Structure 1
Amino acid sequence: MVTKHEPSAELAVGLAVSEANVPPMVDSSAAEPQQPMSRSYIFWLMLASFGVSMAMMVPLAYGIAVRISELAPGHEEVLGYITGTAQAVYLIISPMIGIWSDRTRSRFGRRTPFIYLGIVIGLLGLIVISLAPNLLVVGAGWVLGMSGWSIAGAPLQLLMADKLPESQRGKVSALTGLMTQIAPVLGIGVAYAVSSNTTLVFLVPGVIGAVMLGIFPLIKPEGSSKDLPRTGHVTVRSVVTSYGFNVRKYPDFAWNWLGRFVFFVGLYFNTTFGTFFYAQRLDLPVREVAGIVATVGMIGVLAAAAGALIGGFLSDKLQRRRLFVMIAAVLFVGGAVAEATAWNLPQIIFGAVLMQLAIAVFATVDQAIVFAIIPERDQVGRYMAVVQFAQKIPSALAPLIAGVVITIGAVGDVKNYTLLYLTGAVFALVGGLIILLKVKSIR
């Protein structure tokens, strides 16, 4: 599934490299899409989004924590190192995937081959993690798993950017985003049902997700890309320059990138250690937390559904995007504060519901903003990879930093999650303000 899942530009953070050496394409993808997606296409796109989200998020939210508790009890900070390293690896390869996707010429299309490549790599990674004898192998397995499911999910966003007209961007982003919210919750429930077998904890959600994702191109073929104009070979220079863009020429894209980046730093601060957080605050063994995570998640699904649908449909109807991004940031702050001070299940649920609502609104509406401000539509894959930096950099750095933050002022095994969640709230608020105040071409 797609995670609609970013921002910011760090205006200068290396992103302001030139776009020069990427030859332009003149196919239909260069034009602003006008033909609405059919209901049938949207339905299967939603199922595909659900599948990739389940396959990726269940290990991230539950499975890897279980493996750490088995192999190195009491060292939950390792979770940050493992997830951060995997994100860093994908961060390096993602622009290459975008470039190759844009330039792929096959009878199956530009995007479809990468869906199946990602599925194979992702499933291999899950098998490695489930059988790993030590944490080093767990980390290597998640590098494969994270890379594979990210490669498999990226084409779904690219197809949306290729095909969605402005009038549908909020709605379809809402519906696919809703799937990404529901999938991890149901997936963790599935994992909990087979929690007595570590291998099944990884493989059952992974196989279900792979099937739901893999069937999408079979039922809704992308169509051949063999007749599209050739754009030259991928060179080292073109890859390097693809990691950035001209900030001064595309200020809205840059500011949105920056705001998205900062928001996602806050998000990953407050979500990476969820399993360990629940275990500490509710005084439960880590393996038994899956039931709590699934219960909290199922309740949060209603909030996520409301956030995605209201944010997406209302932002389309009112033609206002930035306001909803700021509302999402404020809601996230409220949820983070509630979680930071929670030592009982009702307050944890309240905070989680607010954060689920906020994440759904932000992800849905900001994705619609991204689709509207892509600088060059003939290079959608490349620019969507740059957008992914705004999520992938935080997902790599935030867990590493968070692993240090929770040790500040820690007493024995009681980690400082209060400081972590409050810090995340500040980042989320700043990210929302950047988009609200600096992105000018979108209302």
Structure 2
Amino acid sequence: MDTTTGEAQVAEVPKRNVLAILIMVFGNTFAALLPGLVAMPIIIARIDPANKAASLGTAVGVMAFLGMLLAPVFGVISDRTTSRFGMRRPGLLIGTATTTVGLAVLGVADSLALVYLAGVILAVGTSMSGASNAALIPDCVPGHARGRVFGFATLLGVVAGLMASVIGPRLIDHQFAMAAGGVPVLVLTTAVGLVLYRDRVLDPRDVPRQPVLRTLLDGYRFDPRSAPDYGWVWLGRLLLTFGISFGGAFAIYFLTDQLHVGRAELPSVISLTSALGMAGTTVGTLVGLFAADKVRSRKSMVLASGVLMAVGGVVAAFSASVPVFTAGSTLIYFAVGVFIPADGVLCMAVLPDDGRNVSKYMSIFTIADQFPRSIGPMVAPVVISLGAATPLGGYPLLYLAAGIFAIIGGLLVRRVRGVL
């Protein structure tokens, strides 16, 4: 096989593919964050005010757990899809349709049961589209440009999140719009992206013939001893995301319960803190997307982002006012912005099987992202309760614990040997 020719072909990245990826990232992120940042916490607080922390933790945890469970299955399906429509397009299309249904159910939810049902549907839809989405950059972007493309995709996600954080609180009295307001954007961007993207078409003869159940179980099959670098990056992401999961979903409750922000002030305070947080992520991502393709060691970037998350966690934990809390959370978001492109490129650099089964292995990385998001919100109320019995307080202890996890995760990534 002529590897030089192969590399030249891979290096020719169709601009329309990159444009399609960026457009779809924006739409998917906006539709997911509009309910995620505001709608679900507010809806649950209205339905179950006495147990809102535990109920929110359960809802977010169930969504993340299902996302973690389903991502590798949909990853294997995507890697073995032989449709003339392409390998990735079917998952993107069906996933978007399912997500739309979940957002609509959340919009009319008047009980915890309906909120949980919406969460289950959303987990299925986002896992399906996410598995296909995760393979798009490794499929068509050469290694030397992945940091920039991944970074710009992250940046557009930040812009979408910023828009969601500004628009969401203004819809606080209109539940359906607050939850499902992103559906038109999701449908439009997915439609445009599917038209633009030139997908791979898999020859049916290249798909192993085996029972369906075995095929699905293949999504979970991985021996860390066969690819230790992949294993260390996976574990580092797991712990760093554990730290991130502790703070994000409970920021609104920190403001109301710890800093005593009133209902009248809450929408403007949420908008301000979210906007500054997204600005921090934007700046961090800009730093990360250019540095990820330029710096000698992406492992050092991951460790540095973990340390910055910990510092931000300490500032937020001991804040006695909204401005100080906002400064701490903004630093955390900046660190997350640096982490995402550095970690993303590192993940792509350690994929096993010489780049085969891309969606499967990128989806297994989703477990490292979703497992802490499923367990973290369930563990967080326990940490809050323990902290409440100490002079430190419940929410401050939560932010300090988040920082510890972030540092440990960054240190573990240093054990990777095959890449810098």
In the TM superposition, residue 39 of structure 1 has moved relative to its aligned partner by 4.3
In the TM superposition, residue 300 of structure 1 has moved relative to its aligned partner by 2.7
- Residues 100 and 234, structure 1, Cα contact 8 Å, conserved in 2: no
Q: Secondary structure at the match of 2:130?
A: helix
Candidates 283, 303, 308, aligned match of 1:331? 308
- Could you tell me which residue of structure 1 aligns to residue 412 of structure 2? 434
- Could you tell me which residue of structure 2 aligns to residue 21 of structure 1? none
In structure 1, what is the Cα distance between the partners aligned to 2:263 and 2:393?
14
Is residue 47 of structure 2 the alignment partner of residue 71 of structure 1? yes
- Could you tell me which residue of structure 1 aligns to residue 181 of structure 2? 204
Q: Which amino acid aligns with 1:113?
A: P
Q: Secondary structure at the match of 2:26?
A: helix
Is residue 39 of structure 2 the alignment partner of residue 57 of structure 1? no
In structure 1, what is the Cα distance between the partners aligned to 2:406 and 2:311?
11
Q: Which amino acid aligns with 2:115?
A: V
Candidates 361, 369, 393, aligned match of 1:391? 369
Q: Which amino acid aligns with 1:86?
A: M
- Could you tell me which residue of structure 2 aligns to residue 3 of structure 1? none
* Structure 2: runs of 5+ lacking an equivalent: none
In the TM superposition, residue 338 of structure 1 has moved relative to its aligned partner by 1.0
- Could you tell me which residue of structure 2 aligns to residue 152 of structure 1? 129
In the TM superposition, residue 181 of structure 1 has moved relative to its aligned partner by 2.1
In structure 1, what is the Cα distance between the partners aligned to 2:17 and 2:173?
38
Candidates 115, 119, 123, aligned match of 1:138? 115
- Could you tell me which residue of structure 1 aligns to residue 357 of structure 2? 379
Runs of 4+ in 1 over 4 A off after TM superposition: 285-288
- Residues 36 and 168, structure 1, Cα contact 8 Å, conserved in 2: no
More relative contact order in 1 or in 2 (CA 8 Å, sep 6+)?
Answer: 1
- Could you tell me which residue of structure 1 aligns to residue 168 of structure 2? 191
* TM-score normalized by the length of structure 1: 0.87
In the TM superposition, residue 421 of structure 1 has moved relative to its aligned partner by 0.6
Candidates 71, 77, 84, aligned match of 2:61? 84
- In structure 2, the CA distance between the partners of 1:422 and 1:153, relative to structure 1 (3 Å rule), is same
In the TM superposition, residue 118 of structure 1 has moved relative to its aligned partner by 1.1
- In structure 2, the CA distance between the partners of 1:207 and 1:75, relative to structure 1 (3 Å rule), is farther
Q: Secondary structure at the match of 1:318?
A: coil
- Could you tell me which residue of structure 2 aligns to residue 289 of structure 1? 266
Q: Secondary structure at the match of 1:365?
A: helix
- In structure 2, the CA distance between the partners of 1:156 and 1:242, relative to structure 1 (3 Å rule), is closer
Please identify, of 84-93 and 371-380, the stretch whose mean Cα deviation from structure 2 is larger: 84-93
In structure 2, what is the Cα distance between the partners aligned to 1:409 and 1:220?
50
Aligned length: 412
Candidates 45, 50, 56, aligned match of 2:21? 45
Is residue 10 of structure 2 the alignment partner of residue 34 of structure 1? yes
User: Which digits, 9 at most, give the CA deviation of each residue in 1:375-405, with x for residues without a partner?
Assistant: 0222111111111110111111111101221
- In structure 2, the CA distance between the partners of 1:343 and 1:38, relative to structure 1 (3 Å rule), is farther
* TM-score normalized by the length of structure 2: 0.92
In the TM superposition, residue 244 of structure 1 has moved relative to its aligned partner by 3.2
Q: Secondary structure at the match of 2:206?
A: coil
Is residue 320 of structure 2 the alignment partner of residue 349 of structure 1? no
Q: Secondary structure at the match of 2:356?
A: helix
In the TM superposition, residue 289 of structure 1 has moved relative to its aligned partner by 3.1
Q: Which amino acid aligns with 2:407?
A: L
Q: Which amino acid aligns with 1:165?
A: P
Please identify, of 192-201 and 352-361, the stretch whose mean Cα deviation from structure 2 is larger: 192-201
Q: Which amino acid aligns with 2:338?
A: V
- Residues 302 and 339, structure 2, Cα contact 8 Å, conserved in 1: yes
Q: Secondary structure at the match of 1:76?
A: helix
More helix by share: 2
In the TM superposition, residue 226 of structure 1 has moved relative to its aligned partner by 5.1
- Could you tell me which residue of structure 2 aligns to residue 410 of structure 1? 388
Q: Secondary structure at the match of 1:91?
A: helix
In structure 1, what is the Cα distance between the partners aligned to 2:367 and 2:403?
21
In the TM superposition, residue 36 of structure 1 has moved relative to its aligned partner by 4.3
Q: Which amino acid aligns with 2:35?
A: P
Q: Which amino acid aligns with 1:216?
A: G
In structure 1, what is the Cα distance between the partners aligned to 2:263 and 2:182?
19
In structure 1, what is the Cα distance between the partners aligned to 2:340 and 2:105?
31
In structure 2, what is the Cα distance between the partners aligned to 1:179 and 1:74?
37
Is residue 378 of structure 2 the alignment partner of residue 400 of structure 1? yes
In the TM superposition, residue 154 of structure 1 has moved relative to its aligned partner by 3.0
In structure 2, what is the Cα distance between the partners aligned to 1:287 and 1:386?
43
In the TM superposition, residue 418 of structure 1 has moved relative to its aligned partner by 0.5
In the TM superposition, residue 285 of structure 1 has moved relative to its aligned partner by 4.5
User: Which digits, 9 at most, give the CA deviation of each residue in 1:92-137, with x for residues without a partner?
Assistant: 2221101110111112111111111111111111111121221121
In the TM superposition, residue 209 of structure 1 has moved relative to its aligned partner by 2.8
- Residues 158 and 380, structure 1, Cα contact 8 Å, conserved in 2: yes
- In structure 2, the CA distance between the partners of 1:179 and 1:289, relative to structure 1 (3 Å rule), is farther
Q: CA RMSD in A?
A: 2.3
- Residues 173 and 365, structure 1, Cα contact 8 Å, conserved in 2: no
User: Which digits, 9 at most, give the CA deviation of each residue in 1:174-219, with x for residues without a partner?
Assistant: 1111122222221132222332211110111233233223321112
In the TM superposition, residue 261 of structure 1 has moved relative to its aligned partner by 0.5
- Residues 121 and 144, structure 1, Cα contact 8 Å, conserved in 2: yes
Q: Secondary structure at the match of 2:224?
A: coil
In structure 2, what is the Cα distance between the partners aligned to 1:343 and 1:205?
35
Q: Which amino acid aligns with 1:390?
A: A
- Residues 340 and 422, structure 1, Cα contact 8 Å, conserved in 2: yes
Is residue 214 of structure 2 the alignment partner of residue 251 of structure 1? no
In the TM superposition, residue 284 of structure 1 has moved relative to its aligned partner by 2.8
- In structure 2, the CA distance between the partners of 1:293 and 1:147, relative to structure 1 (3 Å rule), is farther
Q: Which amino acid aligns with 1:254?
A: G
User: Which digits, 9 at most, give the CA deviation of each residue in 1:215-251, with x for residues without a partner?
Assistant: 2111234254456723324532343343131211100
User: Which digits, 9 at most, give the CA deviation of each residue in 1:415-443, with x for residues without a partner?
Assistant: 7101111001100000001002x011111
In structure 2, what is the Cα distance between the partners aligned to 1:358 and 1:369?
16
In structure 1, what is the Cα distance between the partners aligned to 2:183 and 2:325?
28
- Residues 80 and 202, structure 2, Cα contact 8 Å, conserved in 1: no
In structure 2, what is the Cα distance between the partners aligned to 1:307 and 1:318?
15
User: Which digits, 9 at most, give the CA deviation of each residue in 1:263-286, with x for residues without a partner?
Assistant: 111110111212222222442356
* Structure 1: runs of 5+ lacking an equivalent: 1-25
Please identify, of 338-347 and 394-403, the stretch whose mean Cα deviation from structure 2 is larger: 338-347
